Amino acid sequence: MIEKALKNLKIEQLNEMQEASLKAAKNKTDIILLSPTGSGKTLGFILPLIQSLNPELKQTQALILSPSRELALQIEQVFRQTQSGFKITCCYGGHDNKTELNSLSQNPEVIVGTPGKIANHIREANINSSKISFLVLDEFDKSLELGFKEDMKVILDDLENLKMRFLTSATQAIDVPAFVGIKNAVTLNFLKDQKSNALALKAVKADGNDKLSVLFQLICSLGNDVILVFCNHRDAVDRISELLHEKGLGHDVFHGGMEQDDREKALIKFRNGTHQILLTTDLASRGLDIPEIKHVIHYQLPAQESAYVHRNGRTARMHAEGTSWLVFAEDEQIPNFIKSKPQFITPPQDAVVPSKSDWATLFISSGKKDKVNKVDIVGLILQKGGIKKEELGLIEVLDRMAFAAVKRDKIKGLMAKLKNEKLKGIKVKLEEAR
């Protein structure tokens, strides 16, 4: 089963952490896995979970709780890619309730979701938990931090036949509440010596309190590198976005105040290279499947060291190099938790706006629920759209829509050619995702 899953995932060899997870899970004991962002924790618990499932028991046997919708969807995607033969369904706020109820009525072997939505389904008796024996609390400390404690209590109280609890975190200092029921857990700590020599620390200082201007100069000086800009508050994200729009600088925005569809679209366009700048809050600091980041910019420094570490964890991952930038107002001081002295840089005053990415994103109005898959979309775009394979990039298929990266200079002609085409017998709407 594991060998087949790895083959389907196109993974030749597990890393040390994933090997340790599989080995520990064989003892059927509770596990606490501490490992940095980007180290492959999702696979670290999915493989032991698959190993625990009984193919003859056609009932829900495992539950995975995630602090965010995006992370839940990411876990669902990885699980599906294993092609294990087991059904999984994803439940989260903002998702169509009728769709979820239909999926839950079919007793999927695995359910993944956010604590709030899963707790609601349990209160309404939509989930049969009698055979759930495997529980994953992914980034569990983040779920507590986001205020899901009462929802998690409701869920744990309902799971009377748990045999194994698997908790993950990217944080060293952890405090597991008693209601989780952890007993004699094996702790796998891969956070030791996680500081990367490949992470450079640099800073810029504004004249007075006008941090927006120096941020814009800094972003322009970094050219077309992939950049993640962190703020403490949504209004700061929106303020920066307004400036970048005025300056004609392509980017996306990602924070908790956005509609779910807009959040998903922003991440997809960032992943596929349509935009190389993402403005965000700490919502994007952990767990999400986003590309290797060259530069992390702290427009506003967080109050806690742990948040600062998680943000920096988005770059200099897996032996790659990256830079963490600090943006200071003139009278702003370096926080005590930053031990290293940053190198202060003065970005050029005559900022030149970087050119647009070579990629654009095509929106397609059909998805998984319409029985549309990546192969269908590749066929439509390459065969009927007449573009070359190298002019088609990342394709992502959601429940009711799909997105495909296409070379920017080809997208208008492609939409014209596909104007009246169908997918699975249904006429689809095609437009450039903005």
- For residue 38, name the pLDDT band (cuts at 50, 70, 90): confident
Mean pLDDT, the chain, as a whole number? 91
- For residue 196, name the pLDDT band (cuts at 50, 70, 90): low
Domain spans, the chain: 2-189, 199-344, 359-432
CA distance 33 to 140: 11
Predicted confidence (pLDDT) per residue in 276-331, tens digit: 999 999 888 776 777 678 999 999 999 888 889 888 888 866 556 799 999 999 99
CA distance 304 to 338: 10
277 and 259 Cβ atoms separated by less than 8 Å: no
The predicted pLDDT at position 81 comes to: 92
Q: How far apart are the first and last CA of the chain?
A: 41
- Tracing tokens 């998702």 back to the chain, one arrives at 95
Q: Answer whether CATH 1.10.150.120 is correct for domain 359-432.
A: no
Closest C-alpha to 25, from 5, 44, 42, 11: 44
Tokens, residue 222: 């970094």
The predicted pLDDT at position 328 comes to: 96
Q: Which CATH superfamily is domain 199-344 in?
A: P-loop containing nucleotide triphosphate hydrolases (3.40.50.300)
CA distance 397 to 385: 18
The predicted pLDDT at position 369 comes to: 86
Candidate CATH numbers 3.30.1520.10, 3.40.50.300, 3.40.50.720, 3.30.390.30; the one for domain 2-189: 3.40.50.300
The amino acid at 264: E
- Evaluate if residue 1 carries a pLDDT over 80: no
For 219, 256, 355, the CA distances from 233, given in Å and listed in that order, are: 20, 10, 28
- Topology agreement, domain 199-344 and domain 359-432: no
Share of the chain above pLDDT 70, in %: 97
